[in-house]
Amino acid sequence: MNFLNYLVATRSWQNVQMTQVDLLIGVYATITVLISFGAVLGVVSAFQLLIIAFFEIILYAANVLLGQRLGIYAAQPWSTFGFGGDSTYVHVFGAYFGLALAVPLGLRVKRGKGKDDQADSYNSDMFAMIGTVFLWVHWPSFNAALVPPELQHRVIVNSVLALCASCVFAFLGSRVFRGGKFDMTDIQSATLAGGVGIGNGAAVVVGPGSALIIGAVAAIVSTLGSAYLQPLLLKAGVIDTRGVHNQHGLPGLIGTLSSIVAIAIAFNDNPDNTVFGSDLNRLFPLGKVTAAWQLLELVFTLAIAIVGGLLIGGVMAFFTSQSKRLFSDEKHWRVPSDFEVTIDDEDQKQ
């Protein structure tokens, strides 16, 4: 008891302050992990998902910190979230970390029996579309949450326009690339691709037309990825259960590259360095050189995500047993009666 009293008496207690910004940063980190989960759902256990989340948060924070240090070195206060690093730090990192994680774990798919269970159902597609609608409505505020107040209106307008364009071109691309019929998976992903693509450059895009173009291009690339690229990745052993590469990875790359172009155009078209009344010299002290730093941050993000995902996925694949029944939740959840799934006795023992 005396020892406990000594600890209480000698310890200096401090209040931990938590603001709205801290909570928003936590939301961004959480979404990054959820994106990665979409690549390996049905192949890893619930406990493995917990391990993935633990290590990914560390790598994610290290990547953001590195981007902030690069920004400080380059005198760019907007190098990360303030500039709108959603496309790079959230979507690109989350997607390619999940895909890299899926490479060693995907070896189990070739030897597993449950590959057909990866197919979606009509009921699940309907519920997923409800989630897509909620995300569509939420996305403008997601992009604008950490942007300075005087620029939030521009981010919201550009985000809504990009999302509208991605909706139109999602249906167009799905119809063309799927043989004349719409595919629900394409619609779920590509309608949100515009919000991903506009994430980095929403605060600096010159004119609403650019936002519409970015949204349209992101949707077309997303549907192309769903129709042609994802089957090739699956044949190569790279699983992607939820298609995060098409919804987050490819549009995220478009978002980062489009922001680089937007910065360069903003300085070229505005000799007085003003865009919509904002002083670009204040936002980007290095002017056009800022674009090169954005590209450098993309390279570091891809390197950390891919290397980290391969290492963690390799360790998990080495120390875990090979599952004979994939893409089934019966081992971990109570499955509704309309999904009749049986598991072999041998697999139940694992």
The domains of the chain are located at 21-115+128-349
Percent of the chain exceeding pLDDT 70 equals 73
Does the pLDDT at position 185 exceed 60?
Answer: yes
pLDDT number for residue 279:
62
Position 244: which residue type? V
Q: Which residue has the higher pLDDT, 255 or 124?
A: 255
pTM of the model: 0.83
Residue 45 has pLDDT above 50, yes or no: yes
Residue 279 host element (H or E):
strand 278-279
Could you tell me the CA-to-CA distances from 221 to 172, 226, 255, 294, 342 in Å, in that order?
Answer: 12, 9, 12, 22, 38
pLDDT (0 to 100) of residue 209: 87
**DSSP states of 97-145 as a string?**
HHHHHHHHHTHHHHH-S-GGGGS--HHHHHHHHHHHHHHHHHHHHHHHT
Indicate whether 112 pLDDT > 70: no
Binning the chain into helix, strand and coil, the percentages to the nearest 5 are 70, 0, 25
Q: Give the residue with greater pLDDT, 56 vs 338.
A: 56
Could you give the angle at the alpha carbon of 283 between the alpha carbons of 279 and 289, nearest 5°?
A: 110
Q: Reply yes or no on whether the pLDDT at 114 is more than 70.
A: no
Return the H-helix or E-strand segment holding 192: helix 184-197
Q: Which fold has domain 21-115+128-349?
A: Ammonium transporter fold (1.10.3430)
Higher pLDDT, 9 or 303: 303
